[in-house]
Amino acid sequence: MKKIALLGMPNTGKSTLFNRITGGAARVGNWPGITVELLTGKILLGGDMVELIDLPGIYDIHGFSEDEQVVRHFLHDNVPDLAVVVLNATQIERQLSLLLQLKQLNLNMVVLLNMADEAKKFGITIDGDKMAQLLGMPIHLISAKYGQGQPESMQAIAKALRYPTPGMAESLRTQLEQDAHIEQEMARVLGSAVQVPARLSDTRTDTLDSVLLHPWLGLPIFFGIMYLLFQAIFLLGQPLQGGVNASLGWLRDIVLTPACAGLPTWLSGLLLDGIYNGVATVAAFVPIIILFFLFMAIVEDTGYLSRAAFLMDALMAKMGLDGRSFVMLLMGFGCNVPALMGTRVMRSRSLRLLSMLVIPFSLCSARLQVFVFITAALFSPKAAPLVLFSLYLFSFAAAIATALLFKKQFANAEPFVLELPPYRFPTGHQMWMRGWHEVTHFLRRASQFIIAGVVLVWLLTNLPASAAPASSDTLAGMLGAWLHPLFAPIGINEQLTIALLFGFVAKEIVIGSLAVIYGLSGDALGGALGQQLDWVQAYSFMLFTLIYTPCLSTIATLRNESKSNGFTLFALVWSLALAWAVSFVFYQGARGLGY
């Protein structure tokens, strides 16, 4: 009985074609030279019964992954009479390399360009006859999903089976045996010098996946795990952050202030109140950032983060994103910077840009500090948790609305190809080194922009020299008064406007700037805000703080990752416009209802 091998990359619709051709009448069988079972089906073709074998999807015939070795061993020990190569027509530029590799093996081949209907929608035109002439083999455009082109392709397959290439088996085995020597050498070196981290057995992996990837329970479990992760980060990070703050305060009071005592007042203020305070503000959050990277690295390296992306992919696809975008959005709740950096795993530039556009709407830890202070000052203990929860909902809503609005401008044709790795137990040293590397990279990049930003803020709050620092008579105060007509319709007064200007550098500065403006701190500042603002104004201010321009570190990362000044400017303008619109609708709507 003649054998037909079905070859192709993963996610080309190969299995769909196999099921359509065999009618679902398939069985699992063993084959010489390989240790795994393959799916086969018998079909009547040209008056003869032939056997169709569905081989694993591979990217490289000369690669050494488990699936690639299975395919290579099968072809060596079970030379097929015909190889039917299935390629994804929407990704022909990426998939042609595998076809050219197979051509060098002198296989008797027929090529089927699947998903031709989708390629047409994307504006991709493929001249099958011209390609067949250039490659010297039959090529047909089909749609395995809808059966388009199947009769013609089956006729081509039946015809090719009648004219096998002479000497194909000897030529094929000779070339594949060269890879066999490499496999043996790899096995010898790996067995002697490499230790692979412990991993769960396939049975335990399947058991865990049956729960963690459950259609109904998967997402609630994931959100529960992420909630516990963020709780652990802040539970462990806040004492460390307090220690860093205290150390930096001691360094300023005991060392730097005496050292700058002999300098001119303006220079001392610039160095201490400007540059040092700005850098120290960022440095105080290093413990939380380190913990965030460590915990997220653990979740990722155990193999669970890939499963979260899989769970959310269907929903995110409706917004022009994919499962990886959702994971990065969640990472943004710790810090927007590493989340933006995490989009590097996406090959499609459009998908990266759309993901980077929505990530800054995540309610990061810096914004959370502002909201915790204001809710504690202006809302009852019973209402405060609900207020915070509603802000998280607004965060998701802003990201979803943005994605839906701009998904056509950043259209993504890249399919979501995801490998679910086995569950592994990462080592502590590995996690620490990875987290430390990311943190040092973040600090080197961010510090350049933070210093420039805090110098600008200090100048705005200290000039002219005759004005009291951070008062309404300074440039920042004048700017706040000038912008007040723009912010008055959303309930934000001049003092809060100045605080928002400071928040452009880092959202953590918002509370500190309010303390300077009001000349109060702690509970006294909260009491003053409670007397001056009602809950509608406070909530409108928090909505604007949630959505508007991200901090300088995030902007710097956005520019660095997008490599586009135009996109960075667009992201900033859009976030400002959306923040004002949302706050305006809320504030005016609440006032209209009599609040």
pLDDT digits (tens, 9 = 90+) for 527-576: 888 888 999 999 999 999 999 988 887 898 899 889 899 999 999 999 99
- Who has greater pLDDT, 271 or 82? 82
Using the predicted structure, report yes or no on whether residue 380 has a pLDDT greater than 80. yes
Choose among 150, 138, 140, 70: nearest CA to 112: 140
Mean pLDDT of 212-235: 79
Structure tokens at 233: 């980060």
**Which of 81-90, 249-258, 520-529 shows the lowest mean pLDDT across its residues?**
520-529
How far apart (Å, rounded) are the C-alpha atoms in residues 18 and 112? 12
Q: Where in the chain is the domain with CATH 3.40.50.300?
A: 2-191
Average pLDDT along the chain:
80
Q: Does domain 2-191 have CATH number 1.10.10.10?
A: no
Confidence band for 406, pLDDT divided at 50, 70 and 90: very high
Residue 485: predicted pLDDT: 92
Residue 500 neighbours by CB under 8 Å, 6+ apart: 487, 492, 510, 544, 545, 548
- Who has greater pLDDT, 10 or 181? 10
Give residue-wise pLDDT tens across range 271-310: 876 677 666 656 666 776 677 667 776 776 677 877 877 7
Give residue-wise pLDDT tens across range 318-358: 888 887 788 788 778 777 887 887 787 676 889 899 999 99
Residue 399: predicted pLDDT: 93
Using the predicted structure, report yes or no on whether residue 519 has a pLDDT greater than 60. no
Using the predicted structure, report yes or no on whether residue 33 has a pLDDT greater than 70. no
Residue 139: predicted pLDDT: 92
Indicate the pTM of the whole model.
Answer: 0.56
Distance of alpha carbon 59 from its chain centroid, rounded? 23
Give residue-wise pLDDT tens across range 238-264: 688 778 878 888 888 899 889 988 888
- Who has greater pLDDT, 356 or 508? 356
Residue 174: predicted pLDDT: 72
Mean pLDDT of 461-469: 80
Structure tokens at 37: 């079972």
Using the predicted structure, report yes or no on whether residue 40 has a pLDDT greater than 70. yes
Residue type, 340: L
Mean pLDDT of 174-202: 64
Give residue-wise pLDDT tens across range 305-326: 778 777 877 778 888 888 778 8
Residue 516: predicted pLDDT: 60
Residue type, 41: G
Residue 360: predicted pLDDT: 94
Mean pLDDT of 189-212: 68
Residue 388 neighbours by CB under 8 Å, 6+ apart: 368, 371, 372, 375
Residue 288: predicted pLDDT: 66
Give me the phi and psi of 109, to 5 degrees please.
-130, 150
Would you list the DSSP string of 571-582? HHHHHHHHHHHH
How far apart (Å, rounded) are the C-alpha atoms in residues 216 and 566? 42
Residue 542 neighbours by CB under 8 Å, 6+ apart: 370, 371, 374, 375, 387, 391
Using the predicted structure, report yes or no on whether residue 187 has a pLDDT greater than 60. yes
- Who has greater pLDDT, 537 or 413? 537
Residue type, 145: K
Which burial class, exposed, middle or buried, applies to 291 when counting CB atoms under 10 A from its CB (0-12, 13-18, 19+)?
Answer: buried
Using the predicted structure, report yes or no on whether residue 96 has a pLDDT greater than 60. yes
Residue 198: predicted pLDDT: 54
How far apart (Å, rounded) are the C-alpha atoms in residues 173 and 75? 8
